[in-house]
Amino acid sequence: MRGRAGARLKTKRRALFLGLSACVLSAAAAGALEDLDLAIGRALFRRAWAPAPASTRADDGLGPLFDARSCASCHPGTGRAAARFDDAREIEGRGVVLMIGRADGSGDPVYGHRLQIDAAPGISPEGVVGAQDEALPDGRRLRKPLALRLGYGPLDPESGLSLRVAPDARGRGRLDAVSDETILSIEAEQKRAGGPVAGAARRVTLSDGTVTIGRYGWKAAQPSLAEQTADAFSIDLGLSTALRPDPYGDCTARETACRAAPRGGGASKPEGVEISQAIFSRVVAFLAATPVPMASPSPSPSPVRGARLFGDAGCAQCHRPELPTGDGGSARLYTDVLLHDMGEGLADTMPEPGASARQWRTAPLAGLSDALARDTGLLHDGRARDVKEAVEWHAGEAEASAKRFGALSASQKAALLSYVSGL
């Protein structure tokens, strides 16, 4: 009897062991599959796409008009690219784009929403992105956007221009986990306070009529990482996705050669788009998995003092160090995701529905140290060369904070600037 009982116990233990082993192997396989998806997403983020027709139909569909051949061209290492201009006032590199638009949200009748600087063979690019920098008496640099060597005639007189630096993409996917209710509560909190800071959440209407809250982009025009990624595929690369199915991207009806160009091989697939959902979802998953940039070790002898001064000066009213997320964590990005009136000095000539020319979403500061190291320029058009210059451009709702910064002692300013520059 004792032998039979022992045999049954061994059998149960073996079954339990095999069951646990299967669970462990299953979890390991799932983890390996997830890692593989992220690796594929990273490779697709770096992939250089080709105009149609190409020998590899899975890689074609770029353009016909486009700003870059890959996501990584504008976001090296998922960070920021430089926004430099040569002596001829022309762009160097892919770190800045030229947005075009009118007050009703439409693009230019000929050039659309973006001045595309490259094109498929046989098609003329739209022009060259440029800027005219002016040194102000106080040492700041004013930057005026220019559309140079236009390939399809003049811009419409009603079209406004705005230079936009390619933003840091690292960790920004955490904003998806911040609920609409959290963002709206911050909006309400600032309005109740009755002070100069009174941000506005950007209401975005989706194609199905649903109204949600914008989180991404310099004007918070996109409500999710997927929407932002689809917009980049369409406008920057001219590649269609299920969310942006037009295979001609930003080509307008007047750009007949662009509209007559071959579509990508992906357009003949069952999904009817150049970027399949399998590809698109992996790119989004890769971006969502990129961690929030870590602050660099502060050279200041007292980083705690710098953080305190950051709060005392009122910087943290808008650049909130962290926002609570629905998964019980936080998005430590230094933003409130709201639009703020930043004054006439930072206004561009391109208002849009839901955001005036003077309004900008609070730019996340996480990763700022890397932007300074890459010399990308700060603010939406890269005009500010360092944090001090960026602060000095703050007006409108941020004017009181800028004045408090100006009233600090030299050592206090150094501590605060060192803290922010290390984020």
- HEC assignment per residue over 59-96: HECCCCEECCCCHHHHCHHHCCCCCEECCCCEEECCCE
How high is the pLDDT of residue 389?
97
Inform me whether the pLDDT recorded for 57 exceeds 80: no
Q: In the numeric block, which tokens belong to residue 1?
A: 């009897």
pLDDT 10s digits, 247-274: 999 999 999 999 999 988 754 556 789 9
19 band by pLDDT with thresholds 50, 70 and 90: very low
67 against 59, higher pLDDT: 67
Mean pLDDT value across residues 295-310: 79
Question: Helix 277-289 vs helix 2-46: angle between axes, to the nearest 10 degrees?
Answer: 100
pLDDT 10s digits, 204-231: 998 888 999 999 999 999 999 999 999 9
Strands 330-331 and 323-324: antiparallel
How high is the pLDDT of residue 1?
43
Q: What DSSP designation does 130 have?
A: E
For the ranges 65-74, 202-211, 222-231, 360-369, the lowest mean pLDDT is seen at: 202-211
Mean pLDDT value across residues 27-42: 73
How high is the pLDDT of residue 106?
94
Burial of 304-331, coded b for 16+ CB within 10 Å and e otherwise, reads: ebbbebbeebbbebbbbbbbebeeeeeb
Between the CA of residue 198 and those of 147, 151, 333, 352, 363, what are the distances in Å? 34, 42, 20, 19, 16
How high is the pLDDT of residue 253?
95
The verdict on whether omega for the bond into residue 364 sits within 30 degrees of 0, i.e. cis, is no
How high is the pLDDT of residue 92?
82
CA–CA dist 207, 246 (Å, integer): 14
Inform me whether the pLDDT recorded for 28 exceeds 50: no
Going by C-alpha positions, the residue among 360, 154, 142, 118 that lies closest to residue 254 is 154
Mean of the per-residue pLDDT values of the chain: 89
How high is the pLDDT of residue 362?
98
How high is the pLDDT of residue 270?
60
Inform me whether the pLDDT recorded for 9 exceeds 50: no
Length, in residues, of the chain: 423
Mean pLDDT value across residues 56-78: 90
Contact 140, 389 (CB under 8 A): yes
Q: What is the pTM of this model?
A: 0.90
Question: Helix 277-289 vs helix 225-232: angle between axes, to the nearest 10 degrees?
Answer: 120
Contact 171, 290 (CB under 8 A): yes
Please state the domain extents for the chain: 172-201+291-421
Inform me whether the pLDDT recorded for 21 exceeds 50: no
Contact 367, 378 (CB under 8 A): no
* Alpha helices per DSSP H over 174-252: 180-193, 225-232
341 against 84, higher pLDDT: 341
pLDDT 10s digits, 36-50: 999 999 999 999 999
How high is the pLDDT of residue 175?
98
Q: With 0-12 CB in 10 A as exposed, 13-18 as middle and 19+ as buried, what is 198?
A: middle
Q: Which CATH class is domain 172-201+291-421?
A: mainly alpha
